[in-house]
Amino acid sequence: MERIDPRAEFEGGNGAMAEGRAEDAVAHYRRALCAAPEVVEIHYNLTAALEQVNRPGEAVDAARLGLTHRPDYAPLHVALANLLSQAGEGDAAWRHYETALSEDPDLASAWSGMGGHLMAVGSYELALEKLNKALKLNPKNYICLNNLAICQINLGRQHDALAVYRDLVALNPENAQLHGNLGQVLQGLGRHDEAVPAFRQALELEPECDNVAPFLMQSLLSQCAWTDLGEVRQSVLDETRRRLRAELPITVQPFYLAGTDADAALRLAAAHSYSTHRAGACADLAVRLAFSHATASDQRLRIGYISPDFRQHSVATAFKDLIARHDRDGFEWHGYVLGGGGRDHVTDYFRAQFDHFTDLDGMDVAAAAQLVHDDELDLLVDLSGFTRHSALDLLALQPAPVQAHYLGYGATLGADGVAYLLTDAVHTPPELAAHCSEAVVYLPDSFMATSRPEMASSTPSRRSQGLPEGSIVLANFNAHYKFDPETFALWLDLLRELPGSVLWLLAGSDGAMANLRATAQAGDIDPGRLIFAPRAPHAEHLARQSLADLSLDCRHHTGGVSTLDALWSGVPVISVAGDNPSARTGASILHAADLADLAVADMAAYRALALQLARDPDALAALKDRLRANQGTAPLFDTAHLARHLEAGYREMVRRYRAGEGIGSFATAQVL
- Per-residue pLDDT of 282-307, as tens digits, reads 888 888 899 999 876 667 999 999 99
Report the distance separating Cα 315 and Cα 73, nearest Å.
52
Number of alpha carbons in the 13 Å side-chain half-sphere of residue 34: 13
Give the mean model confidence (pLDDT) for residues 374-386. Answer: 96
What is residue 480's DSSP assignment?
G
User: From CA 75, how far away is CA 87, in angstroms rounded?
Assistant: 19
* Predicted local confidence at residue 122, as pLDDT: 75
Is residue 555 within 8 A of residue 484, CB to CB? The reply is yes
CATH for 174-290 is: 1.25.40.10
594 Rama class: left (phi>0) / alpha (psi -120 to 50) / beta:
left
Measured between alpha carbons, how far is 442 from 424 in angstroms, rounded to an integer? 5
The residue extents of the domains of the chain are: 174-290, 291-418, 463-636
Contact 427, 578 (CB under 8 A): no
Residue 448 near residue 430 (C-beta atoms within 8 A):
no
Taking CA atoms, 284 is separated from 117, 163, 271, 289, 397, in Å, by 12, 34, 22, 9, 10
Residues 6+ apart with CB under 8 A from 350: 310, 316, 320, 323, 335, 337, 357
User: Phi first, then psi: what are they for 635, rounded to 5°?
Assistant: -55, -35
∠ Cα 539 543 548 (to 5°): 140
- How far is C-alpha 190 from the chain's CA centre? 16
Mean pLDDT of 383-395: 91
Q: What is the pLDDT of residues 479-529, one digit of tens each?
A: 999 999 999 999 999 999 999 999 999 999 999 999 999 999 999 999 999
Cα separation, 452 vs 44, whole angstroms: 64
CB 531 within 8 A of CB 514: no
Q: From start to end of 285-366, where are the E strands?
A: 301-307, 331-337, 356-359
Residues 275/392, Cβ–Cβ less than 8 Å:
yes
What is the amino acid identity at position 598? L
Q: What backbone torsions phi and psi does residue 637 show, to the nearest 5 degrees? A: -95, 5
Mean pLDDT over 221-245 rounds to: 96
Contact (Cβ atoms closer than 8 angstroms) between residue 546 and residue 571:
yes
Provide φ and ψ at 331, rounded to 5°: -140, 150
pLDDT score, position 1:
46
Task: State how far Cα 568 lies from the chain centre.
Answer: 28
Determine the pLDDT at residue 225: 97
Would you state the CATH architecture of domain 291-418?
Answer: 3-Layer(aba) Sandwich (3.40)
pLDDT tens digits along 307-329: 999 999 899 999 999 999 999 99
Does residue 216 contact residue 198 with C-beta atoms inside 8 Å? no
DSSP 459: P
Identical fold for domains 174-290 and 463-636, yes or no, is no
Q: Which CATH superfamily is domain 463-636 in?
A: Glycogen Phosphorylase B; (3.40.50.2000)
Q: How far apart (Å, rounded) are the C-alpha atoms in residues 219 and 512?
A: 10
Q: Does residue 6 surpass a pLDDT of 90?
A: no
19 Cβ contact partners less than 8 Å away, ≥ 6 residues apart: none
Q: What are phi and psi of 654, to 5 degrees?
A: -70, -40
- State the pLDDT confidence band at 379, using cuts at 50, 70 and 90: very high
Rounded-to-5 percentages of helix, strand, coil across the chain: 55, 10, 35
Residues with Cβ within 8 Å of residue 310, at least 6 apart in sequence: 316, 335, 337, 346, 347, 350
Amino acid 298: pLDDT: 67
Whole-angstrom distance, CA of residue 277 vs CA of residue 324: 36
Count of alpha carbons within 13 Å of 218, Cβ hemisphere only? 19
- CA nearest to 322, candidates 443, 455, 437: 443
What's the rounded mean pLDDT across residues 145-166?
Answer: 90
Among the listed residues 186, 194, 143, the one whose alpha carbon sits nearest the alpha carbon of residue 163: 186
CA distance linking residue 545 with residue 132, whole number of Å: 50
| Strand stretches in 493-608, DSSP E | 502-506, 530-533, 550-552, 573-576, 599-600
Largest CA distance in the chain: 100
The DSSP code for 303 is: E
pLDDT value of residue 297: 67
Lowest mean pLDDT among 68-72, 87-91, 575-579: 87-91
Q: Three-state SS for 474?
A: strand
